[in-house]
Amino acid sequence: MNHPENSSAGSRWKGYCAATLVVFIWSGWLVVSRSGAKSALTIYDLALIRYCVSSIIALPIVLYYRPWKSMPVNRIFWVSILLSPLYILLVFGGFLFAPAAHGGVFMNGVLPAITLLVGWVWLSELPFTKQIWGVVLIILGTGMATIDASSLSLTDSWIGDLLFLGGAIFFSIYMVAGRVWQITPVQILLCGSVINAVCFFPVWFLFLPTGFQIAERSDLLLQLFYQGLIPNLIGILLVTYSVRTIGSPATAAFMAAVPAGGTILSFLILDEAPGWVGWVSLIPLTIGILLVALSRRGRVRLAKQL
């Protein structure tokens, strides 16, 4: 297995570029998802769009390369579960209760801590001291953003925060699994798009409420384009490449910058303005990101691979 530390310098820089693009993509996704959750569309409609639109594009590629031939059934199952509607409905459900900035804080902001924990439990990877301090600073920054007295005060926002945290756990495990199993982009298209679309569509059609009939055309077109194409195709592929080249802790650290991007965009687009504490929180957050991202992957005592 090729570990991130054995990658060429060029590949590592490409991994950093991929992770940076993910920050921009997911910062925008926070705003788009919050907007979708507040529209006439249900969160089940958003999930359907996410999986079915991307699967239309992914299916010909999957049929051509047949990635299932090189991927054990148990890995197909677990990767599909980690990227399944169970994960995405936790996230979309969070946007029903909490503002976009909270999605960045409680989903992306805690990713480095959870990812390092998963690496320690699964692979016995011991994080370096710098990584630990980086996680502390990231948690401090995200905590400051959360308690910002001038931010939007929603009575039920804690429910959304817990749902976001659940989504973060799913995605942290996926990122570690992606590195350990060396998951390829085509395998992600199979598991993340095609399989989940096939499984979710009949459930949505038979049992779940929908708002397609009453949704505004502008809302529908925005969600079809952004939810259907950007995060589930481009975003997931970039995350997979980044994990394979610079490692899951570093990728998670870059993605922890999403709270800053999401806060700025939500202020500009949704008028969800943070106070001065929210802006100051970006300082420890950024320093923490750099500490985790620029440290090499944790020391491995015993790699336990499935």
In tens, the pLDDT along 84-116 reads 999 999 999 999 998 888 888 788 778 878 888
What gap in Å lies between CA 285 and CA 260, rounded to an integer?
A: 9
Q: Which two tokens stand for residue 89?
A: 């409905």
Alpha helices of 208-235 — where are they, by DSSP H?
Answer: 217-229
Find out whether 150 and 273 touch, Cβ atoms under 8 Å: yes
> What pLDDT is recorded for position 152?
52
Count Cβ atoms within 10 A of the Cβ of residue 131 and give its class: 0-12 exposed, 13-18 middle, 19 or more buried. Answer: buried
Residues 6+ apart with CB under 8 A from 129: none
Give me the mean pLDDT over the 161-173 stretch: 93
Q: Which two tokens stand for residue 12?
A: 């590592």
Q: Which two tokens stand for residue 97?
A: 């209760």
Q: What is the pLDDT of residues 222-260, one digit of tens each?
A: 999 998 888 877 887 888 888 888 887 778 778 767 878
pLDDT at 57 over 50: yes
pTM (two decimals): 0.83
Of 175, 136, 102, 165, give the one whose Cα is nearest residue 287: 136
Question: Rg (Cα) of the chain, in Å, rounded?
Answer: 19
Mean per-residue pLDDT of the chain: 85
Residue 44: band (very low, low, confident or very high) from pLDDT cuts 50, 70, 90: very high
Using the structure block, give the residue that is written with the tokens 């805690």. Answer: 110
> What pLDDT is recorded for position 244?
83
Query: Of all helices (H) and strands (E), which one includes residue 276?
Result: helix 276-280
